[in-house]
Chains A and B, each alone.
Chain A
């Protein structure tokens, strides 16, 4: 029982919203900040673990090519590994992917998270990928926002703040 009942409730609501929006293929690399969400998706047998974030985005791309609606879960540290795939696969082949990325290093955090925490939004902006950082109450609205990018065959990133699905 590592996640609070509120975090589980948030995860359940977001997972249901993902399902309503048609997302049916989940992969990624775990982060404790996404703990309750991964647990929920895994319980529904919809989550295929990957070994690294770029491989996860590759698997999601394959699923999309085969007609599914994928989402990738990862920590923002994995964004570094993902930059090559986002720029030389998703963006040039026009393969959309929803990335749900935990936002480590937003405020005080362990030293390894501070540089990426300061630069992850700017990094995405630099390569032309849009992102949003919703509060717990705005999670479902952020999906509608992502939808408009995905429809345009672009990746979309929803950053997840500490506390919403885990700590």
Chain B
């Protein structure tokens, strides 16, 4: 399963949940796969997608809120893991698309190749923390997490494809803010 496929599969299971997409190829792949007003595409501020999703989740405790993160981004803001656990953000689902590299900057390797991030998540206090690497397992596990009380962490092991990258995020940032914020308030 490639990162592009994993993002599209995850998005096919979303209904009206607010989702924050990490800077880089994850936001770009998301924009190309499907577009909903509840999608917040990050550009810049690498690592902070999870913190934004946590803020939404704390403000809207009755809605499931998702961060679609990358391994490089999680490693940059690793403090978001104990934050989810210690604040016990039950409606927060943290999905990490893990290609073991900084793909959008040229594929330099990341430390997720030697660190089991799902184990970091488990010891950080996530109620569910698992790892999948096939489309079937991703669908099955994510369906379950979308119905379960969290905080939940799902590491999705993917490969890089050779296709040209999806276009950059096309909307102006403030347009994204306006649309997203109106749709989730």
Inter-chain contact A51/B83, CB cutoff 8 Å: yes
Q: Does A107 contact B (CB under 8 A)?
A: no
Interface segment among A34-42, A64-72, A98-106: the answer is A64-72
Q: Which of B18, B58, B173, B180 contacts A48 (CB 8 A)?
A: B58
Shortest CB–CB separation between residue B121 and chain A, in angstroms? 15
Inter-chain contact B55/A95, CB cutoff 8 Å: no
Interface segment among A13-21, A84-92, A134-142, A157-165: the answer is A84-92
Per-position binary interface string of chain A over residues 37-57, scored 1 when its CB falls under 8 Å from any chain B CB and 0 otherwise: 000000000001111101111
In the complex, chain B residues whose CB is within 8 Å of the CB of A74: none
Interface residues of A: mostly helix, strand, loop or mixed?
helix
Inter-chain contact A85/B55, CB cutoff 8 Å: no
Q: A58-B51, A62-B53 are in contact. Are A67 and B44 (CB under 8 A)?
A: no
Per-position binary interface string of chain B over residues 20-44, scored 1 when its CB falls under 8 Å from any chain A CB and 0 otherwise: 1000000000000000000010111
Q: A52-B79, A55-B48, A55-B80 are in contact. Are A94 and B55 (CB under 8 A)?
A: no
Inter-chain contact B185/A89, CB cutoff 8 Å: no
Cα distance A89–B42 in the bound complex, in angstroms: 8
Inter-chain contact B83/A65, CB cutoff 8 Å: no
Inter-chain contact B51/A65, CB cutoff 8 Å: no
Inter-chain contact B48/A25, CB cutoff 8 Å: no
Inter-chain contact A92/B184, CB cutoff 8 Å: no
Q: What range describes how many residues of B lie at the interface? A: 35 or more
Q: Does B13 contact A (CB under 8 A)?
A: no
Cα distance A89–B47 in the bound complex, in angstroms: 12
Cα distance A50–B50 in the bound complex, in angstroms: 12
Cα distance A56–B50 in the bound complex, in angstroms: 11
B 163-185 contacts with A by CB, 8 A:
173-174, 176-177, 180-181, 184-185
In the complex, chain B residues whose CB is within 8 Å of the CB of A55: 48, 51, 77, 79-80, 83
In the complex, chain A residues whose CB is within 8 Å of the CB of B55: 25, 27, 58-66, 70
Q: A25-B58, A50-B83, A94-B177 are in contact. Are A62 and B52 (CB under 8 A)?
A: yes
Contacts from B to A (Cβ < 8 Å): 18, 20, 40, 42-45, 47-60, 77, 79-80, 82-83, 86-87, 173-174, 176-177, 180-181, 184-185
By Cβ-Cβ distance, the 6 closest A-B pairs, closest first, are A62-B55, A88-B44, A58-B51, A51-B79, A59-B55, A66-B59
